[in-house]
Amino acid sequence: MKWVENLLGRVKKAGYKGLCLTVDTAYYGRRERQIMDRWLPPSRRGVGYEHRAALTWEIMDAIKEMAGLPFILKGVATAEDAAIAVEHGVEVIYVSNHGGRQLDHGRGTIEMLPEIVEAAAGRAEIIMDGGVLRGSDVLKAIALGAKAVAIGKLQGWGLAAAGQAGLVRVLELLEAEITVTMGLLGVRNLAELSLAHLCKAEPVSPAHEMSAFPYLPGGQLL
């Protein structure tokens, strides 16, 4: 744990306001795109990766105490783990499946979200990512109880297309879609969103990462 203590010292010295611990990478998923690209992330090349499989709730408690910062637990995927997390004083539960790359056939985060919100019972704030491609996706997650919604692929695409300007444009589009959707729902602020604004529906076509953008390569209509 000495290297963890040293790392946390650097974190606090740098002025970070919170600490996020990822807990669903005990074994690195077979991420086929990365295999094809012959690329490994820095976390698999450096010190510390071999300790992830040994992570326990007790070790998490020790890290949380050493950090002395608001604590985020990322990768929670069940109500059972969410309930344990709040018992251990976790302030923020981050619902994520790493874009579905860690475990094939795992549930989508939007499916996990309601039971995790119920298990947390207001004792921790909830963040969610995964499959967020439209502003309406952000609103769905908030209506289901998420406090904040994060994006992954969208920011990567924006940066790859046009650097900082591309990322800004991604956020502008999300903002516009959120505004339009709220206006058409008759919602004046995010606090007015509720389960009453949602209903379950069967998919109308096979899922694909570009399904939300049918006029781009890989979309539904091309």
Q: Give the DSSP H/E element, type plus range, for residue 40.
A: none
Q: Residue 167 corresponds to which amino acid?
A: L
Is residue 98 annotated as part of the catalytic site, yes or no?
Answer: yes
Largest CA distance in the chain: 55
Owner of token pair 């998420």: 146
Could you give the residue ranges of the DSSP H alpha helices within the chain? 2-13, 32-37, 57-67, 79-87, 109-120, 135-143, 153-185
Phi-psi group of 115: left, alpha or beta (phi > 0 → left; psi -120 to 50 → alpha; rest → beta): alpha
From the candidates 51, 98, 197, 208, give the one annotated as an active-site residue. 98
CA nearest to 41, candidates 53, 59, 29, 51: 29
Q: How does strand 19-22 pair with strand 71-76?
A: parallel
- In the structure encoding, which two tokens stand for residue 159, read together? 């940066």
Query: Active-site residues: which are they?
Result: 98
